[in-house]
Each structure stands twice: as structure tokens, then as C-alpha cells.
Amino acid sequence: MAKITFITRDNETIILEGTSGSVMQLAVDNGVPGIDGDCGGVCSCATCHVHVDVGHHLKTGEATEIETDMLELNDYANERSRLCCQIQISDAIDGIVLQVAESD
Amino acid sequence: MSVHLNKNSICVVIGASHAGVNLAFSLRKEGWQGAILLFDKDPEIPYHRPPLSKTYLSSDEGTNLLKSVESYEKDNISLNLGISVSSINRTDKTITLNDGTIQAYDKLVIATGARPIIPPIPGIETAAHVYPMRTVEDVAHIRKALHKSLNKRVVIIGGGYIGLETAASIKKLGGRVTVLERETRILARVTAPEMSNFFMQLHTENGVEMLPNKNVIAIENTKGVNTVVCADGTQYEADIIIVGVGIRVNSELAKEAGLVIENGILVDETARTNDQNIYAIGDCTFHFNPHYNRHVRLESVQNAVDQAKVAAAAICERHPIYDAIPWFWSDQYDVKLQMVGLYEGYNETLIRKEDGESNKFSIWYFKDDTLLAVDAINNAKAYVLGTKFIKDASKIDKSKLMDASIPFKPGDLLI
């Protein structure tokens, strides 16, 4: 079980709990605004872009090459960027805070 | 009062897949106050369609819902599944359901998508285990038939993306797969010869029998075993046959209602039909693309989702314009293909290969100096760069683009 906090573009805090699947799916299932997941979680659309809060990125790990490449020209991408369809829910990420990134 | 602010207004959406479902949720987001009713003949809770031929077929993961059941309740969207619509009555502003029920609307959205073409091959009607690949039910049938089959000989008619993705998935499930393509090369309708060659080789290396120039003329069935007969006299035994030869737009309802049809339901830049209260979105539409300066019909998630957002905004009296650059993807084995733009009309292709990586390259389609489209294999960077260049109508230095030693950065590749 992992507790995951989303901070939306409107600064609303949404706390969700999950046990499996991707963080994107959890967000979509619970209607977190700004996380669309249009491609269903295969890193093709970049509509699930989040910034991992400082101090939590060790839990989520680094972005993979395809994530970095998909965000290569995104004005809102930074070193804490992840596409959250690529973050799997497990006990290891309990307590992470994710900021929904602005979109172009 | 504006129709979208009136609590008594009703928006009816025919079709609850990517386009219809996204329309419904976008409509709420845009401030539609009245009822939203979704109708679809598929009884399943709306699901992501692209995984059907990929992970859903090849694993036990189950469907990937577009939205959770709770999301529909939360946004007060009425999901009416297993129900087909038999007519649209524009003068009364109603639709008639297959059980005779009449449902009124203030705004109607047609998101009826498309259906697989089943070619009129003699014997196809009586052959055993012939399936298209479009719905959860199709995949359930294929998985069940494959599980029960001893020999697991699968013939796929059609070497397009659906056929190829299905081939890769069935290979993963232990099937013996033959792909029969009528044209001289696979993917002939959608990509350049170089890309056809790449996928031809990829599937061959993975043990799929890939056969272009095979026009299927008959299917014979003896004791439950199908024999697929081609025009050149060759024959292939098949326990299961999967048909992936393209789709036909579901435009009959719109046509019978007198809406303008031209290779799909004709809509304007706000996704509106020739009836001011009726919109159409997704695979079933024929719409204008300003980047390419022509009307197009697209079969893609991107088009379904983006057109849905535009239609929702338009219904809520904003003034959006649909001007998205089309994009697509396909996953086969460990290869990810990402495509952006529309390549029709190209007169030159350039291939950029990344140093030392044979499975990482991109094909750039030009018409003279204008970049039309990019197909990127395991190369998301080429894909996003191509997207930007097409969007900005950038002038690209072709020799630099071809030179893998020059970094893949926008500034380095322009004239």
C-alpha cells in the first residue's frame, strides 16, 4: 500500500492510496485534473507529466530514456520530471508527493 | 440562457469509446450543466482500444478502462451500454433506441467510430474461428480459440498495423503465425518501403511467416480446419483466422439523418456537422486539417481525444479550432514505432540512423523542403523533434539531419 499525494495545477491537494498498477492509472481512476493518460500508459502521449517533490525522487527512481526524450522539448520539464505511467505503485513509493506539471 | 448553462439541457453522445467518453468528461470540465447521456452497443465499460492487439491479447492483464466506473458517477455522466441507436430524428431533436425508446437531445454528438471490414471472400462465412480485432469480445474469442487449439496455426489476413501487432502478440502466446498481405509489401498504405522492410525483417526474425503478394480468394473448411486459398494457388491451413484489412466508417445513422457524408461525416473546424446541434468526432469524421490544407479522415486515439475536446469546448460556446498534428504509435515485440504528421504527397524520404544502434532510426518524409511526417523507431527524441518541426513549419538542413554525429537538438538541424 502506498499513499501518494498529488498537487494539481490549481494547487489542490489530492491524497490517494494504491497497491498496484501505475501512478497514472490511479490518478485517472480518481480524476486527478491534468493527468489524462490518453495513450493508456505506453509512454506515447506525455499527458501524465509530473514533478516528483524534492526528497522523493530516490523512491521513484530516475526517468527512463524514453520519458526524458518525450519531454525533451517540453517547456515545463526539469530534472524532477517523470511520466507517471512509468511509475509503478508499491510500498517503496509510499509517501511521495507529485506536482502535476503545466502543459504547453 | 445559453444551452450549456441550462440544467435541463441534454447532450446525447452516440458511441462511448475514446472519442465519446472524452467528450463527456470534457463537456463537464467546460461547464455543461445539464444531462450527459452516453450510448454504446458494446456492453463493456469503455476501455482503451490500442492495447487489444498488444498487451491485452498477449497477457492476462485485463482491460484498461478509459475511466473508472466511479468517475462517471462523480461527473454525473449516464453510461448506457449494450444499447444501439436506430435513428436520429433531426426535426424532433430525438434519437430512437433499438428497443423503441425515444430520447430527446439539445446537442447530439456522433462518435460511432468504425467497424472492421470483413472482405467477401467465398467461404469466410462458414469458416471456423474467423475473427476481426476491434473489441474486447474479439480478443476474448481469439484467446479462447488459441487456448483450445492444439496446433495453434493462425493466419492473419492483412499486413497493416493491426495485423502485425496481432502477429507479435500471438507469437508471444505460442501460436504459429502466417501473415498474408495482398500488396507487394506490408504496411503499403501507411508507410515508406524502408519501414515495410524493417517490419518484414523484424517479424521474420521472430518466427512469423510473412507473405506479401498473397490475395486470398477462398477459405475452405473441412472438419473444422480452414484452408486459406490464395490467387497464386498456394494454400495455408489455419485453426484461427484473423482479419485485419481495414475499417469501414459507421456513418449510416448520420447519412440516414441527412447529414453530409464525404469519406466520413463532414465536420467543420469545431467538429460540427451541417446541423448546428449535431457534432461528430473521432474515426467517423472527415475534417479539415489546417497544417496539411486538406480534409482528412484519421483512425487514431489522438484524433478521437483532441476532436472530443474541441467539440466539448464548442458546445459550451467557446471558439476552439481543431488544428492538431496527427500522431500514432505501434508496439511490436520490443520495438516502439511513433509516427507524427501525414506523409501523403511526399517526394523524398531521409533516414537518420543513430550510431551503433540498428533498432533505432527515423524516417523523415519531405515534400521538397517541407517536412510532412516522421516515423521513429525506438527513438522518441526524433518523434518529439519532428512534431516541433512540423508544427513550426521549420526549414531543416537535410544533410545535418542525416548526420548522426550532429546532436539531435532543434537548433543544430535548422537552416
At residue B8, the pLDDT reads 97
Is B333 in the A-facing interface, judged by CB distances under 8 Å?
A: no
Is B221 in the A-facing interface, judged by CB distances under 8 Å?
A: no
Instruction: Find the domain containing B218 and state its range.
Output: 130-245
CB-nearest to B301 from A38, A65, A66 is: A38
Look at residue B322 and tell me if it is in a domain.
no
Question: HSE on the CB side for B120, CA within 13 Å?
Answer: 0
> How far apart (Å, rounded) are the C-alpha atoms in residues B111 and B20?
5
Global pTM value? 0.96
Is A104 in the B-facing interface, judged by CB distances under 8 Å?
A: no
Compute φ and ψ for B337, nearest 5 degrees.
Answer: -105, 125
At residue A43, the pLDDT reads 93
Minimum CA–CA partner of A29 in chain B: B68
Q: Please check whether residue B257 is in contact with residue B93, taking contact to mean a CB–CB distance below 8 angstroms.
A: no
Q: Which residues of chain B have pLDDT under 70?
A: none
- Candidates A44, A76, A86: best to mutate against B (most CBs of B within 10 A) is A44
User: What cell does B243 get?
Assistant: 482479419
CB contact under 8 A, A40 and B51: yes
Asked whether residue B272 falls in the same domain as residue B368, the answer is no
Number of domains in chain A: 1
CB contact under 8 A, B67 and A38: no
Among B245, B271, B302, the domain-final residue is: B245
CB contact under 8 A, B68 and A42: no
Look at residue B327 and tell me if it is in a domain.
no
User: What cell does B13 get?
Assistant: 453522445
Among B245, B263, B283, the domain-final residue is: B245
* CATH code at position B393: 3.30.390.30
At residue B304, the pLDDT reads 98
> How far apart (Å, rounded) are the C-alpha atoms in residues B265 and B296?
11
User: How many Cβ pairs within 8 Å bridge chains A and B?
Assistant: 61
Nearest by Cα to B371 from B360, B355, B382: B382
Compute φ and ψ for B391, nearest 5 degrees.
Answer: -60, -45
Instruction: Find the domain containing A88 and state its range.
Output: 2-100
CB contact under 8 A, A72 and B384: yes
Asked whether residue B211 falls in the same domain as residue B291, the answer is no
> How far apart (Å, rounded) are the C-alpha atoms in residues B17 and B265?
17
CB burial class (10 A; 0-12, 13-18, 19+) of residue B209?
Answer: middle
Asked whether residue B223 falls in the same domain as residue B160, the answer is yes
Question: HSE on the CB side for B321, CA within 13 Å?
Answer: 6
User: What cell does A5 get?
Assistant: 499525494
* CATH code at position B288: 3.50.50.60
At residue B76, the pLDDT reads 97
Alpha carbon distances (Å) from A12 to A9, A19, A98, B34, B200: 7, 23, 12, 26, 50
Please say whether the dihedral angle defined by the alpha carbons of residues B27, B28, B30 and B36, taken in this order, is positive or negative.
positive
CB atoms under 10 Å from CB of B354, counted, come to 17
Q: Could you report the per-residue pLDDT of A44-96, keeping only the tens digit for each? A: 999 999 999 988 888 999 999 999 999 999 999 999 999 999 999 999 999 99
Look at residue B323 and tell me if it is in a domain.
no
At residue B356, the pLDDT reads 80
Look at residue B320 and tell me if it is in a domain.
no
Angle, CA B81 vertex, CA B76 and CA B82 arms, to 5°: 165
Kindly calculate the radius of gyration of chain A based on its CA atoms and give it in whole angstroms. 12
Asked whether residue B108 falls in the same domain as residue B198, the answer is no
CB burial class (10 A; 0-12, 13-18, 19+) of residue A78?
Answer: exposed
CB burial class (10 A; 0-12, 13-18, 19+) of residue B2?
Answer: exposed
Q: Which residues numbered 29-58 in B keep a CB inside 8 Å of some CB on A? A: 48, 50-51
Asked whether residue B105 falls in the same domain as residue B136, the answer is no
pLDDT score of A40 more than 80: yes
Is A40 in the B-facing interface, judged by CB distances under 8 Å?
A: yes
At residue B410, the pLDDT reads 85
Three-state DSSP class for B324? coil
Q: Please check whether residue B386 is in contact with residue B394, taking contact to mean a CB–CB distance below 8 angstroms.
A: no
Q: What percent of chain B has pLDDT over 70?
A: 100
Q: Give the strand pairing for B361-367 and B370-377.
A: antiparallel
At residue A14, the pLDDT reads 97
Asked whether residue B236 falls in the same domain as residue B255, the answer is no
Nearest by Cα to B143 from B151, B156, B131, B159: B131
In b/e form, how buried is each residue of B303-338, taking b as 16+ CB within 10 angstroms?
Answer: bbbbbbbbbbbbbbeeebebebbbbbbbbbbebbbb
At residue B26, the pLDDT reads 96
User: What cell does B204 get?
Assistant: 521474420
Number of domains in chain B: 3
Look at residue B122 and tell me if it is in a domain.
no
Q: Could you report the per-residue pLDDT of B59-88, keeping only the tens digit for each? A: 988 888 999 999 999 999 999 999 999 999
CB-nearest to B48 from A30, A40, A69 is: A40
Among B315, B343, B368, the domain-final residue is: B315
Is A31 in the B-facing interface, judged by CB distances under 8 Å?
A: yes
Q: Which 8-state DSSP code applies to residue A2?
A: E
Amino acid present at B203: H
CB contact under 8 A, B71 and A31: yes
At residue B371, the pLDDT reads 98
Three-state DSSP class for B327? strand
CB contact under 8 A, A69 and B380: yes
Q: Could you report the per-residue pLDDT of B49-59, keeping only the tens digit for each? A: 999 999 999 99
* CATH code at position A65: 3.10.20.30
Look at residue B206 and tell me if it is in a domain.
yes
CB atoms under 10 Å from CB of B148, counted, come to 11
User: What cell does A42 get?
Assistant: 505506453
Kindly calculate the radius of gyration of chain B based on its CA atoms and give it in whole angstroms. 23
